[in-house]
Amino acid sequence: MQQRYLTITLCILLLLAGCSGNDPTGTESVSTPTPSGGTAQAPTTTAGTIGPSTTTAVSTATQTPTATEKPNSPIDGGTARSAIVTRVVDGDTIEVEFADGSTDEIRLLGVDTPETQSQHEDPGDFDVSDNERGHDYLLEWGDRATAFATEQLDGKTITVVTDPKSDKRGSYGRLLAHVFYDGTNFNKQLIQKGLARMYDSSFTLRSEFASLEDDAKSADRRVWGFEPRDTPTPTPEPDSKPDLPPPSGSNDPYDCSDFSSQDQAQWVLDNTPGDPSGLDGDDDGEACESLA
């Protein structure tokens, strides 16, 4: 009887121990049957998580360009910045606003278009006659170059590229730079189209620009197509008056015998309309041929 009581008591204790067997640390041990009939310990997990603990890095940074980012430079060693053209001054000068809100005046590097004011023009730069017609010709092409730059660039987003072989700014304080629009070097395009000459300065593409200018000149392209009009041959100045003998009379001032040389008679013939002395008897333009 006592043994039976002990057995019942032991069973109750074991049952109570099973009901109160929670892990105070918040983890739970799960026994899983194995093919061999034993048990395998399942991985423990931290309370509040499911499955293995993993860490995923989430970046909150955006990939949109900011005002401080700069495009790649198409000129080796150059610095490139995006800008909007706010004004076209003339064929080789523009005003821009950069992405950060700053503004500048750009002088297109390595090129020179005709001026739009004649007092600033040097016709010799474009092989044009230094006269009214030559100046008018250059003014016309200065206006055409300005119109082309306005059509291509005004209000457009461009890339302004400085050149490591050039000064950063010119004598008037303007930024010296290449301008790229839709991937095209606009400075070079002006040379190719015959709307500008190559400016005599140092810059990376100098040899290429010189070759393009030679091609434009050979083809008489646009500004290089000036054709000077034939100018009349100037009337030669009369020879110096030689020493002449005094006239022998008023109606028939001279006779061939009055002269000591044919040069004297010829001068009188050339400078006396109508040959009143009859020095050219055979009307061949030679006076007193017997004296020759």
- The catalytic residue positions are 107, 115, 174
Report how far residue 146's alpha carbon sits from residue 142's, in angstroms, rounded to the nearest whole number: 6
Instruction: Give how far Cα 254 sits from Cα of 258, 267, 274, 291, Å.
Output: 6, 12, 13, 14
Report how far residue 80's alpha carbon sits from residue 69's, in angstroms, rounded to the nearest whole number: 10
The total number of residues shown for the chain amounts to 292
Two tokens, residue 260? 């000591």
Instruction: Give how far Cα 127 sits from Cα of 80, 118, 135, 167, 223, Å.
Output: 35, 15, 11, 27, 9
Find tokens 């092989």 and name the residue. Answer: 127
Report how far residue 194's alpha carbon sits from residue 111's, in angstroms, rounded to the nearest whole number: 11
